[in-house]
Amino acid sequence: MDRTTIRELMRRTVQLGTTPSRAILLAQEDDRMAAASPHQRFSLGKRPVIRWIKGDGLDDAITRAAIGQASRLFGDKVDYCVCTNGIKAERIRSILEWAVAPVEWRPLLSQDNPSLAQSLTAAGCPPEHYGYWWKWFPERVRPSAPEWILDGDMVIVGIPSWFEQWASGDDKCRVTQDDRWPMEGLYGNYVDFVDEHLRLYSGLISLPPNLRYMPEVNKVFALRRLASGHDGRRDMCEQGVIAAAFQNIGPLPIPLCEFPFGRAFEDSIDYGVRGDRGDVWGYHFGNAFRRDNPHFNRLVEQGVVFSRTDQPGLVERFAWMGGTGQWGVPGWAMPDGCASLIVERARDFAGRQVLELGTSRGRLTAMLASIGCRVTTVDHHDRGARQNLGGLAVDVVVDDAIRFLTTTSRTFDLVVVDLHGNSVADWKCYAPLVKKCLASRGTLIVDNATLWTIPEWKVETGVRWFLESLPSTWAVELHPEPLPGVAIVTSRQP
């Protein structure tokens, strides 16, 4: 629901002395949360989050498998985030196409962790040389929630025994441990800072809510600054600083026998000094950033690591752009069945002008663009769509829907409406404006056509009013299932 409509409906509600509808109240809350950047909205969440860092290396296939497997393993028990450096939208859409749950994509900037950026700058290390350090930008993607931070070449294949404790926010900090590799090759200039018995390394960090680790990192830098000319792409000091910082927090170690190393240049998987005890719940496919990793390939063939040989369907490919959970208001995300119906009808409009009202994160927009539609999409907030849709032939308009419809002189062969306000008052406002923008013999597709049949949305009868008020020169095809239903309206006028 756009801001103009919200204000007008609230004005009428006050005048009539009635209670605002659930749609109005939720739209106000959604408007308030979405007013900030999409990343800030995600960061305010309380649900546990799993976060990967992905750089411009050769391990795309591993990150794709990791997110595909985790989203199937944990479902909606957690949220998912991938932080990237040097990766464009086309590539991230490919990496995320196996996900079956929404994923936050966060391209990183040096200002995401000002304190760390300052220390790197002081050592003469520019952002293009941050390398391993990008993993700590930002310090937390969701400060008030449990958070896992993983390298992009780490794949979770099982659920650790302490998962529920972590997810509820009651667990201690945990950090991966490497008890076999020679210390001199792990920690750079900070090897003497590292506890030789604990031997932490920065592969996977499990954080409870509200834990800050940058104060400890800064203490390490206060004792020893990075050497002048530091290059985070090559030097191993990041491992030493992070190990020294976290050992001061007092974490529980995650041993190699639970999360072993499958280094590309070694013949066998490294389970550490304890050996393989049958407790593995994840693998770290080391050096996949630079070369093919045979351990990953073998575990894919054995079915231990998730993979698929078929091309995901169009609706599947963009599940990561879904609007459920932290990304939207409960009950307002378009079901796959409705999306499939809309896309099939939209195929007839490939190469033609299509208007979408209600962009959200750009999921349906991406589908329409992928089948060749020339899409203009409008939402009064950018919920990450401009970033997510980069490289596609889409015009992303951040504007009030009513204002856009009122001021544009363009017409469209297909108009798709997926707005959150669906009362009669809303549709009395939408109807003449949408008709004005529809080309002769154009088609209008309306989501939420039977939303009013759901008890908590029973007052949202606007689409029903609109359909019943259409003259005989319009053909109406109603699909009541799956809820909230889709109406396809075609103008017969010459």
159-184 residue pLDDT tens: 999 999 999 999 999 999 999 999 99
pLDDT band at 456 (very low <50, low <70, confident <90, very high): confident
- State which residues form the domain around 297: 38-301
Co-location of 292 and 400 in the same domain: no
Q: Residue 201: helix, strand or coil by DSSP?
A: strand
The reply to whether 10 falls in a domain is: no
CA 167 vs CA 68, 104, 203: distances in Å: 20, 18, 19
Residues 288, 346, single domain; the answer is no
Mean pLDDT of 425-446: 95
Q: Does 313 fall in a domain?
A: no
Per-residue pLDDT reduced to its tens digit, 349-387: 999 999 999 999 999 999 999 999 999 999 988 889 999
Asked whether residue 391 falls in the same domain as residue 276, the answer is: no
Do 338 and 242 belong to one domain?
A: no
Residue 128: pLDDT above 50?
Answer: yes
| DSSP state string for 276-293 | --S---EEE-TTTTTS--
Q: Is the distance from CB of 263 to CB of 271 less than 8 angstroms? A: no
Say whether both 219 and 335 belong to one domain: no
Angle CA 72–77–81, to nearest 5: 75
Same domain, 354 and 282: no
Task: Look at residues 281, 301, 321 and tell me which one is the last residue of a structural domain.
Answer: 301
The reply to whether 483 falls in a domain is yes
Residue 256 and residue 375 in one domain: no
Domain count across the chain: 2
Q: Which of 301, 318, 341 is the last residue of a domain?
A: 301
Q: 367 is written with which tokens? A: 């589908």
> Quick one: 381 and 427 in the same domain?
yes
The answer to whether residue 7 sits within a structural domain is no
Same domain, 281 and 336: no
pLDDT band at 196 (very low <50, low <70, confident <90, very high): very high
CATH number at residue 405: 3.40.50.150
Residue 109 falls within a domain, yes or no? yes
- Of 301, 322, 342, the position where a domain reaches its end is 301
pTM for the complete prediction?
Answer: 0.92
Please state whether beta strands 154-156 and 374-379 pair in parallel, antiparallel, or not at all (unpaired). Answer: unpaired
Same domain, 244 and 336: no
pLDDT value at residue 142:
95
Same structural domain for residues 254 and 355?
Answer: no
Computed over every residue of the chain, the mean pLDDT equals 92
Is residue 308 assigned to a domain?
A: no
For residues 222 and 270, state if they share a domain.
yes
Torsion of CA 445, 448, 449, 453, to 10 degrees: 170
